[in-house]
A and B are shown apart, each in its own frame.
Chain A
Amino acid sequence: MSTEAFAQMAFWMLVGLTFAGAAIAVFPRNILHNVLGLALALAGVGGFYLYLGSFFIALMQLLIYVGAITIAIVFAIMLSRPLHLEIPKRAVPKVAMAAVASFIFFAAILGVVFRTQWTPAVERSTDWSVETIGHLLLTRYDLVFEVISLVLLVAIIGAIVTAGFTRRLSS
């Protein structure tokens, strides 16, 4: 088996892993299985970064998405209804709304994918070192960088407001 075939096999295994994780994240009615499926899908995406040659981004994906985001979702689960109670049926309007939201997101991503002028791998810069990424984040992509921190700020304020609000109700 050649290296090329080996790489192909690795790629399709990653595709399978990511899709399986995504399916587990959405379909089972057991919320903990959902979270672990999400972790699997996110780890699969990390694998894609590795496949594309950026070890740093792959590890950041694991650190941020599997390490932080998934664990944060686990905290949210602690607030959800107990599993030994009867699981309510999926409400049709909610499913429809979720489907519409995911479709909009999917369409947006597709739009970006088709509009981007992709440069072939050979002509592209191969310098994906930590320094280059750091410089790019603080120069060319600083707006994106700032907007992401704004999102985090909104999340923090939201969490504080939610916690403070429920606390005031109970006291």
Chain B
Amino acid sequence: MGNLVSSEWLRLVIGIIVVLAFSQLNALFLVWLERKVAGHIQLRLGPKEVGPFGLLQTIADGIKLVGKELITPRTADRTLFVIAPVLVFMPVLVGFLVLPFSPNLILRDMNVGVLLIFAFSAFTVLAILAGGWAANNKYALLGAIRSVAQNVAYEIPLLLAVLSVVLMVHSLNFADIVRAQGRIWFIFLQPVAGLIYLICATAETNRAPFDIPEAESELVAGFHTEYSGMRFGLFFLAEYTNMFIVSAVATSLFFGGWQGPFGFGLGIPGVVWFLLKTYILIFVIMWVRWTFPRLRFDQLMNFSWKFMIPLALANLLITAAVLKFVQ
């Protein structure tokens, strides 16, 4: 193994450990934040008993989940039922490889980083489908089918919106895209693309008002109805980590990544800027969830296919035309 244990490999191993630890901690924090935000929006206090401000509540919940029995329904497809929660977490971890937390804090500075995140997001859909189908439960299957339809519909405008940013920078590298926003963030140059991205990202993470795959009031819990214990926990963790990733991507593509607004860094380290913006975006996504009601399935599909996709295409076309004209 001699020549393989170089600094490169050590860096990768340390990176993976940090990513694993961070994704768990982040999800624990986000679940707490969601309950606090939900509580305050509904004039409640949210969790407050366990630890200061209820901060340890989700850790207690996590321990409870780990201790619970893993139930597999008798009629379930056993292999797929076990594989699905693991498969759903894989693309989420891959996303962390290329996120630019600061100029020097990128695990792998790939020249196709943007593509990597969106290429692997396909596995999330397949995992949700496999899990929902394997449970052999009508609610789970309905949730899975809705999830597939929704993800396909919203991935197209999402990619088109990202593409208009890529066209401006001529690069699929996250670090290049962030550096190009030194003076002006792309949200000011590409407001339409930014808005389309945020809406589609909410839909891709299956969150309200786009949460029809797990609509509690009609589908029990959607695709993870039959899951219990830590298998359910993995779906939950993946959802919250996914939320972090889509917000972090939005931060890098539209909100200047590790840089301060209009070139003013204010001496604050890049990581702090990056995390600050990401968590503000996450807060916005939560805010939206507790403000808007759930859409109906046909409204949701029509909105994507008949409005978002043409709009995103027009935006891409105009971006290309303007870029040609400016050159």
How many residue pairs between the two chains, A and B, have CB atoms under 8 Å in the bound complex? 65
Q: Does B226 make an interface contact (CB < 8 A)?
A: no
Contact A71 B148 (CB under 8 A): yes
* Contact digits for A85-97, partner B, Cβ 8 Å, 1 yes 0 no: 0000000000000
Q: Does B201 make an interface contact (CB < 8 A)?
A: no
User: Contacts A67-B119, A67-B155, A71-B148: A59 and B112 contacting too (C-beta < 8 A)?
Assistant: yes
Q: Does A63 make an interface contact (CB < 8 A)?
A: yes
Shortest distance between the CB of A97 and any CB in chain B (Å)? 29
Contact A3 B3 (CB under 8 A): yes
Query: In the assembly, what is the distance between CA of A36 and CA of B84, in Å?
Result: 11
User: Contacts A56-B115, A67-B119, A71-B148: A1 and B126 contacting too (C-beta < 8 A)?
Assistant: no
Query: In the assembly, what is the distance between CA of A71 and CA of B130, in Å?
Result: 12
Report which of B4, B77, B122 forms a contact with A63, defined as CB distance below 8 A.
B122
Task: Give the B interface residue count (CB, 8 A).
Answer: 28
Contact B123 A63 (CB under 8 A): no
User: Contacts A2-B3, A74-B148: A59 and B119 contacting too (C-beta < 8 A)?
Assistant: yes
Report which of A30, A59, A66, A70 forms a contact with B116, defined as CB distance below 8 A.
A59
Q: Does B187 make an interface contact (CB < 8 A)?
A: no
Query: In the assembly, what is the distance between CA of A55 and CA of B110, in Å?
Result: 9
Which residue of B has the minimal Cβ distance to A36? Answer: B130
Q: Which residues of B contact A1 (CB under 8 A)?
A: 1, 4
Q: Does A62 make an interface contact (CB < 8 A)?
A: yes
Query: In the assembly, what is the distance between CA of A99 and CA of B130, in Å?
Result: 28
Report which of B4, B112, B126 forms a contact with A36, defined as CB distance below 8 A.
B126
* Contact digits for A24-63, partner B, Cβ 8 Å, 1 yes 0 no: 0000001011001001000000000000000110011011
Shortest distance between the CB of B200 and any CB in chain A (Å)? 14
Task: Give the A interface residue count (CB, 8 A).
Answer: 26
Query: In the assembly, what is the distance between CA of A30 and CA of B134, in Å?
Result: 11
10 more contacts with CB within 8 A, not counting A62-B119, A67-B122, are A2-B3, A6-B4, A32-B77, A32-B80, A36-B130, A63-B119, A66-B119, A67-B118, A67-B125, A70-B122
User: Contacts A36-B126, A70-B126: A62 and B172 contacting too (C-beta < 8 A)?
Assistant: no
Q: Is the interface of A mostly helix, strand, loop or mixed?
A: helix
Contact B122 A71 (CB under 8 A): yes
Report which of A32, A55, A71, A130 forms a contact with B133, defined as CB distance below 8 A.
A32
Q: Which residues of B contact A6 (CB under 8 A)?
A: 4
* Contact digits for B96-131, partner A, Cβ 8 Å, 1 yes 0 no: 000000000000001110011011111101100110
Contact A66 B112 (CB under 8 A): no
Q: Which of B130-175 contact A (CB under 8 A)?
A: 130, 133, 145, 148-149, 151-152, 155, 172
Which residue of B has the minimal Cβ distance to A72? Answer: B152
Contact A55 B119 (CB under 8 A): no
Shortest distance between the CB of A63 and any CB in chain B (Å)? 4
Q: Which residues of A contact B133 (CB under 8 A)?
A: 32
Q: Which residues of B contact A66 (CB under 8 A)?
A: 119, 122-123, 126
